[in-house]
Structures are given as structure tokens and as C-alpha cells.
Amino acid sequence: MSQPETTPEVSASSLRQIIGALVFSAAAPLPIETIRTCLRERAAESADAAPFADVLPRDIRDALEDIARDLDRLDIGMELREVGGGFRFQTQPGCGHWVRTLLKRDRPTRLSRSALETLAIIAYRQPIAKSELEGIRGVSVDHVIKALMEMHLIRIIGRSDLPGRPFLYGTTPRFLEHFGLKNLDELNELDPTLQRSKSASLPRKTKGKKTEKTAVEAAVEEAVAAEETATAETEAAETEAAETQEEASTADKNAADELVALANPREQENLKAAREADPVFEQDDKE
């Protein structure tokens, strides 16, 4: 009596080899789901590869983590990183100048301070309109937005409900790759006090000056006869709006500093010194 055929299991070593080859060959960070799709397609083409059809996403992630640990242990100038929703091999930061010499490339173009600050505001407050950016920074951002779009770090992601329906801007997958981030939620991990906005500018009905003004107008309409009360509420709202704007400006400066440090590790010491010298940062740290 013949024995029923059994499907051979996929060994961890063979899975690591295949996944490593796929990541190495990919032109962009490779998502786990794309790896799984490739395994299934190959399994459908060849009986020898049939077992790979049952590989689960957690198996792929385990294999990727094994590869990353092996590279860290070998310390050969390469690493496996998860960025922009996928995985890629990249050189270790300390080897960058050697690679540029080999490839005959000049030093990488660095973003200006104004561009980094604008990019930080967009990253933390997206989607956001140009008028809001200019209100926060206090200067025109036309040329900065153009430069960031040419570098594919930001893009137009919609239109605001504000009068004139201005464009709304947000970051791109290229932004995540450039700063080595898995996703936008990792921005919150740079500094827990700088939580990324989830409502942003659609338009802002619960934040900022516009909120306080709307509240005052509603109070006046509901209590026209109580002129003194309405005036008092207006003054209180304006004071609160000014305090909110001041807090937002401090938070945006802090966000820009964190993004500068992420883009250029040498800025870490400067940022640390600035925090120690600035009473606002010192107070935030104590709180």
C-alpha cells in the first residue's frame, strides 16, 4: 500500500536565502505582502516551490529579522532596514563617504534649515494648506514647497474646505525612505511631546484661532442683549488663542529640531545644548 504524499516544509535557511535575494534585487523598499505574493506566484509555477505558497507574513518577518541580526553580527558595512513600508539593504552610515568616493559622487545635497522646518511642520500637521504653513512660519513658503516637491519629499494630497479650496500638502514615501522611517507614526517616537496631528487642516474646527473666533461669534449670536458678557468672552478667547498659537510655535520649532537631528546626526549635540539653554525646553522636560 503506497504512502500518501506529504508536502515538504519550508526550511528557515532556504526562506532566508530567497527573501534576501528578493530584497537585494528590488529597486525600492520591499513590503512583506509583495514578498508573499512573489512566493505564491512561484509556487503556482513550479511543483518544487509549492510549499512556499503556505508561508505566512509572520514567517517572512521572522526571516527578515534573522537576516538583520546576521548582518549586525557580521558588521560588514551593510544593514537591513524597514523604511517606507518595506525592507531594503543599505550601507551603514559610517561607510557613506567611502561609497561616494567609489561612485564618484559629491557630498549629498542637504536641506536648508528653512526647508527642514517647513518639512517638519508638514510631516507633523499634514494635511496642511500653504496659508497655514505661512501663518506658522511667518514668511512665504512658495520656493520651499516647490523645492520639496521637486525632491519628491512632499506632494499634493487634496484640497481644503477653506475658501478658495487651497491645495493640501503631505509627505511622500520618499520622505520616509530619506529619513529612515517605517511609517509616519514613528515621528511621535522622536519626541513623545510632539504627537503628530490626526485632524490637521480639514479645516481646523477644534484648534487654533479659527476655533476661538467661531466660539465668540456663536456666543454673541445667542446672547446679543448681554453685551458685556460677550465682550468678556471675546477677550478671554483671544487670550487663549494667542497662548495656543505660542504653544504651537514652540512645538513646531521642537519638531523641526528633531527632524534636523534625524537628517544630520551631528546636529544631536547642538540640539541637546539648545534644549539645556532654552528655559522653554527645560520646563517641558520637567513636566
What backbone torsions phi and psi does residue 262 show, to the nearest 5 degrees? -70, -40
**E strand or H helix at 139, and its extent?**
none
Q: Are 153 and 181 in contact (CB under 8 A)?
A: no
DSSP, collapsed to helix, strand or coil, labels residue 90 as strand
CA distance 127 to 58: 32
**133, exposed or middle or buried, with CB in 10 Å at 0-12, 13-18, 19+?**
buried
Q: Which domains can be identified in the chain, with CATH numbers?
A: 12-102 (1.10.10.10), 113-286 (1.10.10.10)
- Residues in contact with 210: Cβ distance below 8 Å, sequence separation at least 6, in sequence order: 203, 204
205-215 residue pLDDT tens = 333 444 333 33
Indicate the range of 64-78, 92-106, 118-132 predicted with least confidence.
92-106
- Tell me, what's the pLDDT at 9? 80
Q: In this structure, is the dihedral angle defined by the CA atoms of residues 147, 121, 265 and 96, taken in order, positive or negative? A: negative
Averaged pLDDT, 77-102 = 92
How many CB atoms sit inside 10 A of residue 216's CB? 19
120-151 residue pLDDT tens = 999 989 999 999 999 998 899 999 999 999 99
How many CB atoms sit inside 10 A of residue 120's CB? 24
Averaged pLDDT, 91-102 = 90
**Is the per-residue pLDDT at 188 higher than 90?**
no
Q: Are 199 and 175 in contact (CB under 8 A)?
A: no
Q: Provide the pLDDT confidence category of residue 260 given band limits of 50, 70 and 90.
A: low
- Tell me, what's the pLDDT at 256? 67
The more confidently predicted of residues 58 and 3 is: 58
- Tell me, what's the pLDDT at 200? 43
The more confidently predicted of residues 217 and 88 is: 88
Break the chain down into helix, strand, coil percent, rounded to 5. 60, 10, 30
- Tell me, what's the pLDDT at 225? 39
**In which residue are the cell numbers 511667518 written?**
138
